[in-house]
Amino acid sequence: MRLEPHGDDDHETRDQAGVAHAPGASQAPGQGRARREPRFGEDRGVKGCQAAKKPPRLRTVPAVVELFWFPSPATPPVLTDPSAPISQVSTRIGDDRLDATLGLDQPIVEVHGVRLRLAASGWMSFRQGGPLTYHLLTLDGTFGLPLAYRHEAWTFEGGWRHTSAHLADGTRLDTDDARAPSTYSREELWMRASRQGDWLRPFAGGSWLVRTTPSVPRGALELGAQVDWRLLFVEVRASYTGTTLGLDGFVGSGNDAAWLGLYASRGADRRGQYLGDTDSAVGLRLAVRPTLGPR
């Protein structure tokens, strides 16, 4: 007995892809299984449960507000400005007096190109009492929140600052220049404009005292210039406080972080305990701009 398969032989057959084939027709090798295209997000030959995830797209947002914790100041300091937030040591020719300043100039935030900084300095006056021995005479200080804006070669600065004498009980009584106790404190608004060239930077500005103890002329003006050519650095500054004309100069060498050279100054004494006196000096100065981190 011959067993026949169930059904007619002339029925058409279908492969796994559902494609019909005539009865008795042979299929070419490789045609018995249809090729499936990988789904979206799925690598070839990888199952759907193991499909590679598509990385998220990042949206670029323009920076409007930028915070600074360790950058250097945007503009070079005016070395001959008594309120400049720099650190320096100055000796005097023919005098045993030594002046020192500790400064801080730290940018905080910048919004639309306007940079806010924290600026502070404390300056001290010493008198030599023996070999490598100096007595502290005065300790004054200033701090403020200046603003700076740069447009091409122009820089505009200004803000508020406070200045006071912290040895208000007078200087040491065992010195020849001892003074009676006095109170010295003031707040002022100031501004300065400068233009940076290839080697020349002129600047001009002014200030106005909004509160002062004791009473002094409230307005002040300044005019000066810096020359920075290779290793040579020269600065001159003229100031007028309403009663006294001051002239300051510096000639030396340095870069944007430190300067060493000779200085000369004549004008009103910057120390609160010697308010109203005229001070003049010629000597050697080392100045360093304080920086809390990389430039």
Tokens 């030396």 belong to 252
Q: Is the link from the previous residue into 214 a cis peptide, with omega within 30 of 0?
A: yes
User: 32-50: per-residue pLDDT in tens?
Assistant: 555 555 554 455 554 545 5
Is 205 inside a domain boundary? Answer: yes
* DSSP letter string, the chain: -----SS-TTS-EE-TT--EE-TTPPPPTT-SSPPPPPPTT--TT--GGGPPPPPPPPPP----EEE-SSPPPSS---TT-TT---EEEEEETT--EEEEEEEEEEEEEEETTEEEEEEEEEEEEEEEEETTEEEEEEEEEEEEEEEEEEETTEEEEEEEEEEEES-TT-S-TTSTT-------EEEEEEEEEEE--SSEEEEEEEEEEEEEES----EEEEEEEEEEETTEEEEEEEEE-SS-EEEEEEEEEE-SSEEEEEEEEEEE--SGGGTT-EEEEEEEEEEE---SS--
Query: Which pLDDT band holds residue 243 (cuts at 50, 70, 90)?
Result: confident
Which CATH number covers residue 176? 2.40.230.10
Question: The domain containing residue 185 runs over which residues?
Answer: 84-288
Q: What is the pLDDT of residue 179?
A: 65
Query: Which pLDDT band holds residue 165 (cuts at 50, 70, 90)?
Result: confident
Is 37 inside a domain boundary? Answer: no
Residue 14 in this model has a pLDDT that exceeds 60: no
Q: What is the pLDDT of residue 229?
A: 92
What average pLDDT does this structure show over 121-140? 86
Mean pLDDT, the chain, integer: 79
Is 74 inside a domain boundary? Answer: no
Number of domains in the chain: 1
Query: Which pLDDT band holds residue 166 (cuts at 50, 70, 90)?
Result: confident
**105, 79 contact by CB (below 8 A):** no
Is 276 inside a domain boundary? Answer: yes
**111, 91 contact by CB (below 8 A):** no
Structure tokens at 179: 């003074």
Is 127 inside a domain boundary? Answer: yes
Q: Quick one: what percent of the chain has pLDDT higher than 70?
A: 68
User: 271-287: per-residue pLDDT in tens?
Assistant: 888 888 899 999 999 99
Q: What is the pLDDT of residue 40?
A: 46
Q: What is the rounded CA–CA span in Å between residue 185 and residue 142?
A: 10
User: 176-231: per-residue pLDDT in tens?
Assistant: 666 666 778 999 999 999 999 999 999 999 999 999 998 888 999 999 999 999 88
Beta bridge partner(s), residue 289: none
Is 23 inside a domain boundary? Answer: no
Q: Is the pTM of this model over 0.85?
A: no
Q: What is the pLDDT of residue 21?
A: 52
What average pLDDT does this structure show over 131-157? 90
Q: What is the pLDDT of residue 240?
A: 94
Residue 84 in this model has a pLDDT that exceeds 50: yes
Is 4 inside a domain boundary? Answer: no
Q: What is the pLDDT of residue 196?
A: 93
Is 55 inside a domain boundary? Answer: no
